[in-house]
Amino acid sequence: MAKSKSTRSSRKTPKKGPSGGTGGKGRRGLEGKGATPKAKDRPHHKAYQKPKATATSRSPRSESSSRSKNSTISHEIVFGRNSVVEVLREEVPAKSLHLAENLEPDPRLREALQLATSQGLAIIKGTKAELDRMTNRATHQGVVLRIDPYEYADPTELLDADHLLIVVLDSITDPRNLGAIARSAVAFGATGIVVGQRRGVGVTASAWKTSAGALSRIKVAQAVNITRQLQQYKDAGLFVIGLSADRDLIETQLDKELAARGLVLVVGAEGDGLSRLISEQCDFLFSIPMTNHTESLNASVAAAIALYEIAKIRSV
């Protein structure tokens, strides 16, 4: 018992008297070290390496491929059975028809296969996961059509023609407007169409469908800068006229002699019209009379009316 008691007493912490303090020598150890750094700022934390790894993975090549993928989804493929059949009916230039495995046949699928075969397209079967990746997981119904990228002309190529009539689109972004304008341009003898490279509309599957084949009979050129391109056309001797909402009628200013010259017709977006810089490049502006001045015409409708008026004056 004595041994046990002695053991317990040896474990007791002796009491400290007044002289048991540090005398201020440990004050620095009690001071705060400031806010704890974020994980990404601590070298030994795994989050510290993550931004570096992310930056390494986002190289110019990977960003380029990412943009290419997005471009393909929005401009070079059509998916869904109804949409694919409609595009094939219009004989839009396509490359291949992709079908998911084990599809249940229906009239639309049979027609898609028949049209694709008659047009000489490659028929490629793949898994649903592969088609999901192609469409960014959109509802494709197991049918995807890959469209050939459109080969744009150079704007100077449109100068190689008699009785020039070039249609320039300013800030128009709806491809259906481009398709409809292409139909009118072909119908009234226009030489070609010019769109902006950066902010302009492109020749997509939707534009092909709306054009009803007209885009295969007229050249579409891309200009890096529409304003500079108009100046180049003026330097080549062309007369530039623009559609506006507050100018005189085309019949009062464009006579047969002037219409017989090479012309550039500039069409702006519905509502916004022509931009200021584009308007300043025009030799004159004209408007289309309407009984209700609060309404604005669709860009493709306005272009069709203007092209008809030019053709009528030229034929007098």
Q: Give the pLDDT confidence of 195-204 residue by residue, as tens digits.
A: 998 878 999 8
Worst-scoring range by mean pLDDT, 90-94, 95-99, 237-241? 90-94
**Beta strands 122-126; 165-170: pairing state:** unpaired
DSSP character string of 193-214? EEEESSSS----HHHHHHHTTG
pLDDT greater than 60 at residue 315: yes
pLDDT greater than 70 at residue 54: no
**Beta strands 263-268; 239-243: pairing state:** parallel
CATH of 60-147, one of 3.40.250.10, 3.40.50.1010, 3.30.1330.30, 3.40.190.10: 3.30.1330.30
Per the CB < 8 A criterion, the answer to whether 115 and 87 are in contact is no
pLDDT greater than 60 at residue 14: no
> Is the fold of 60-147 the same as that of 155-315?
no
pLDDT greater than 60 at residue 12: no
Q: Give the pLDDT confidence of 274-300 residue by residue, as tens digits.
A: 888 999 999 988 888 777 665 678 899
Q: Give the pLDDT confidence of 16-52 residue by residue, as tens digits.
A: 545 555 555 555 544 555 555 555 555 555 554 443 3
**Beta strands 284-286; 263-268: pairing state:** unpaired
Judge: domain 155-315, CATH 1.10.645.10: no
| Predicted local confidence at residue 71, as pLDDT | 30
pLDDT greater than 60 at residue 10: no
Per the CB < 8 A criterion, the answer to whether 103 and 78 are in contact is no
Sheet containing strand 219-223, edge to edge, reads 219-223, 192-196, 165-170, 263-268, 239-243, 284-286
CB-based contacts of 72, cutoff 8 Å, min separation 6: 134
Residues of the chain above pLDDT 90, percent: 49
Provide the sign of the torsion angle of the four alpha carbons 212, 181, 189, 193, taken in this order. negative
Strands in the chain per DSSP E = 77-79, 94-100, 122-126, 143-147, 165-170, 192-196, 219-223, 239-243, 263-268, 284-286
Mean pLDDT, residues 60-72 taken together: 31
Closest alpha carbon to 76 in 133, 145, 136, 147: 147
pTM of the complete model: 0.69
- Which tokens is 12 given? 């007791």
Q: Domains of the chain: which residue ranges?
A: 60-147, 155-315
